[in-house]
Structure 1
Amino acid sequence: MDVLLKKIIDILPPPDFIQSILGQNSAEPTLTNNFYKIVDGFAKAQSETDEKSLNDTFIMVAAIKDHFWEIINTGHFSKVSQIHRKIYTVASLHKAVLLLMKGHLELIHPNEAREQCMWELDNGLLLGCPLDHSIYGDVLNDCLNIIQNDRSSKIRNTDQTKLDTKYDSRPSNDIVCDIDILERPSIQHFKENYFNRSQPVILRDCMSQWPAMSKWNTINYLLDVCQNRVIPIEIGKNYTNENWSQDLCKFEDFFRRQFLDDETCAGSKRIEYLAQHNLFDQIPTLKNDIFTPEYCCITSRTSDNDIDVDIKAWLGPEGTISPMHIDEKHNLLCQVFGSKRIILAAPDDSVNLYPFDGDMLKNTSQIDAEHLDYDRFPLVRNVKFYSLTLYASEMLYLPPKWWHFVKSLSKSFSVSFWWE
């Protein structure tokens, strides 16, 4: 057994833990019984590693995984039961390891086995159990890190070529900004004058110590770290557009299409956006390149519990748009490279901004903030809008329920920190 496969198998949860997960699925006893057979077959495949037992177990695992994929993708994702997502994760993990075994026996090419393995593991993380500290979340992450590190040691490229981005720093003559701009204010000053007063502000010189500032806009760094990882992307102008959709793809394919003008992708002109994704729990190496801003320690809560900061990634080409919307939490939007045009409106103007009806988009305005249609939305005349450009190395503090429209002016990577 090769070293990589042994490392993966050594960290797998024991069969009794797997069976305890399956035992929670009382609604589908037949499937549960089939999965017990899979666990037994998996153990046999591990010990004997013969082609027949391996293929038989692989077919069973793939069938169970496909069944739960259909369940997860029917209806709204939030309505999917946790046990179905857990079983999907269990199946993804087993299928991934079986693929490595197939590569070990040369039933498929070892490199292809690794790539397919990573696809299965990331699917288990993204669609299965949440990205938290559950045992399966940890195991899948550990497996992915082992495979990624094994591969990265062979492909590491020291080329420091920078991405072609525009407006990476605020021009000295750029004075068109409707909110305050501060140079690294003290926590107390920020709290008294902006946090407590619910006022947005741009903060400068707060990200200079981030390794991301020198690493992420070099072409090969992101490819080395994220190359074969699976990410969710948004496709289309913005999420209110009828042609908007979502998909899963390899990071490298997305990156080459949207950032490198790859000639092999010349026919694909659609805008794709890695938006509001928990990339840093999925790929912990990237999390080491950023630091949670000290301003996130300020809270409006009265409890003494630790502050939970939710970190999201926003990566895309010029022209990506988040339509005018609100969030319920405090937000620090940090620009690593590129720049974004942002239009704000205060919570008091909510009645004039025509939010969509229904639960799905009730936090989103129907207006196009760049092209106001006063005939269709006459109350918009009453709104006071604030315009600004957020440049690389700057943070924008957005208090809860402030309306904001965001459009990238160049290739862009942003990180948002949300907290209560």
Structure 2
Amino acid sequence: MQFDFKSIDRIDSIDKQGFIEKYYKPQKPVVIKNITKDWPAYAKWNLDYIKEIAGEKIVPLYNSEPVKAEDGFNEPKAKMSLADYVDLLKSEPTDLRIFLYNLMKEVPQLQQDFRYPDLGLKIMKGLPMLFFGGAGSNVFMHYDIDLANIFHFHFHGEKECILVPPSQSKFMYKIPHSVICREDIDFDHPDFEKFPALKNLKPYKTTLSHGEMLYMPEAYWHYMKYITPGFSMSLRSIAKRPNHLAEALYNVILMRHYDSVMRKLKGNDWIDYKNQEAIRRTHKTLNIH
């Protein structure tokens, strides 16, 4: 069985008043197809260009292995030069990804290639983050720790995106003291017998091509899979809903530090406990036996 996916609106362009009324206020995702057409990045940004201007940079790499107790918060699995990583992406499938990397800070000339979109939200200008992945690699289902509004621009190839609204979090088998769900859930081929609450989900799904932007509203869960090698840039605007802003502050100030301490104290027993609790709490809430 598969999810009954809902489509995401795909539009050519929109002004800020239309964006606020149609998408931000109702917290509805949208793909804006032509938003980067007048950026230098639209013509310039591909893997070869990144290799040319930033190939000597040593970058952190992540893979798809489940979290272990000894792993630090966002701790990379490996490091290599960006030139070698681009060569790897182009030569063979790999699950090694670059995640939340501020290449703009290290290569300031990249900042001249894009413009902050005028869509009526104040964007945090110091945090344009880049993400890279090889064909078939994926970013596990999660929501961002700061619950921000995300503007996600994709370049070079195609990327599949699955989104779940925060209103459906009770079906997600969320891991306590984290912003992820059970990592053994396959969102491409869900196991509804093992995880029956997933049958209640009504997720969104879309594919991003070169230059397109996906707006992900506050606290949306998202799962990304690279159909081809490529990279994306995310810009963010802080959560405005009071409950989301409060959760974001709790996550950043308390939650992640508490989780780190418990990992050190209890090791993988803590990870096992949280995985069991994700199932117990979800099934208890929904009265599933």
TM-score, normalised via structure 1 length: 0.50
Partner residue in 2 for 1:189: 18
Q: Give the match's secondary structure for 1:387.
A: strand
Q: What is the correspondence of 1:142-161 to structure 2 with a 5 Å cutoff? A: none
User: What is the CA–CA distance in structure 1 between the aligned matches of 2:124 and 2:153, rounded to whole Å?
Assistant: 18
Change in Cα spacing, 1:177 to 1:217, as seen in structure 2 (3 Å) is: farther
Q: Percent identity?
A: 26
CA contact (8 A) 1:321 1:407 kept: yes
Partner residue in 1 for 2:27: 198
CA apart distance, 1:239 = 5.7
CA contact (8 A) 2:157 2:210 kept: yes
1:353 pairs, out of 172, 184, 196, with 172
CA contact (8 A) 2:6 2:202 kept: no
| One-letter amino acid matched to 1:196 | K
Larger Cα Rg: Structure 1 or Structure 2? 1
2:151 pairs, out of 302, 325, 332, with 332
1:224 pairs, out of 48, 52, 58, with 52
2:121 pairs, out of 287, 292, 298, with 298
CA apart distance, 1:385 = 1.5
Aligned residues: 225
2:161 pairs, out of 338, 342, 345, with 342
CA apart distance, 1:332 = 0.7
| One-letter amino acid matched to 2:195 | F
CA apart distance, 1:396 = 0.5
User: What is the CA–CA distance in structure 2 between the aligned matches of 1:245 and 1:232, rounded to whole Å?
Assistant: 5
Partner residue in 1 for 2:237: 419
User: What is the CA–CA distance in structure 1 between the aligned matches of 2:89 and 2:68, rounded to whole Å?
Assistant: 20
User: What is the CA–CA distance in structure 1 between the aligned matches of 2:47 and 2:85, rounded to whole Å?
Assistant: 16
CA contact (8 A) 2:104 2:128 kept: yes
2:124 pairs, out of 304, 308, 324, with 308
Change in Cα spacing, 1:294 to 1:348, as seen in structure 2 (3 Å) is: same
1:72-113 deviation line (CA, Å, top 9, x unaligned): xxxxxxxxxxxxxxxxxxxxxxxxxxxxxxxxxxxxxxxxxx
User: What is the CA–CA distance in structure 2 between the aligned matches of 1:232 and 1:342, rounded to whole Å?
Assistant: 23
Change in Cα spacing, 1:402 to 1:186, as seen in structure 2 (3 Å) is: same
CA contact (8 A) 1:238 1:322 kept: no
User: What is the CA–CA distance in structure 1 between the aligned matches of 2:159 and 2:68, rounded to whole Å?
Assistant: 20
CA apart distance, 1:218 = 6.2
2:179 pairs, out of 363, 368, 390, with 363
User: What is the CA–CA distance in structure 1 between the aligned matches of 2:39 and 2:65, rounded to whole Å?
Assistant: 30
Is 2:16 the counterpart of 1:213? no
1:387 pairs, out of 190, 195, 205, with 205
Q: Please, which runs of 5 or more residues in structure 1 have no aligned partner?
A: 1-175, 300-306
Q: Give the match's secondary structure for 2:77.
A: strand
CA apart distance, 1:193 = 1.0
Q: Give the match's secondary structure for 2:7.
A: coil
CA contact (8 A) 1:238 1:321 kept: no
User: What is the CA–CA distance in structure 2 between the aligned matches of 1:205 and 1:270, rounded to whole Å?
Assistant: 30
Change in Cα spacing, 1:382 to 1:241, as seen in structure 2 (3 Å) is: farther
CA apart distance, 1:194 = 0.5
User: What is the CA–CA distance in structure 2 between the aligned matches of 1:271 and 1:414, rounded to whole Å?
Assistant: 16
User: What is the CA–CA distance in structure 1 between the aligned matches of 2:103 and 2:88, rounded to whole Å?
Assistant: 19
Q: Give the match's secondary structure for 1:324.
A: strand
| One-letter amino acid matched to 2:133 | G
CA contact (8 A) 2:131 2:233 kept: yes
Change in Cα spacing, 1:237 to 1:348, as seen in structure 2 (3 Å) is: same
Partner residue in 1 for 2:89: 258
CA apart distance, 1:177 = 6.7
CA contact (8 A) 1:238 1:320 kept: no
CA apart distance, 1:252 = 1.3
Partner residue in 2 for 1:246: 77
Q: Which has the higher contact order (CA 8 A, sep 6+)?
A: 2
CA contact (8 A) 2:60 2:76 kept: no
Q: Give the match's secondary structure for 2:132.
A: strand
Is 2:7 the counterpart of 1:178? yes
1:158-192 deviation line (CA, Å, top 9, x unaligned): xxxxxxxxxxxxxxxxxx97021112111100001
User: What is the CA–CA distance in structure 1 between the aligned matches of 2:235 and 2:68, rounded to whole Å?
Assistant: 26
| One-letter amino acid matched to 1:381 | K
Q: Give the match's secondary structure for 1:189.
A: helix
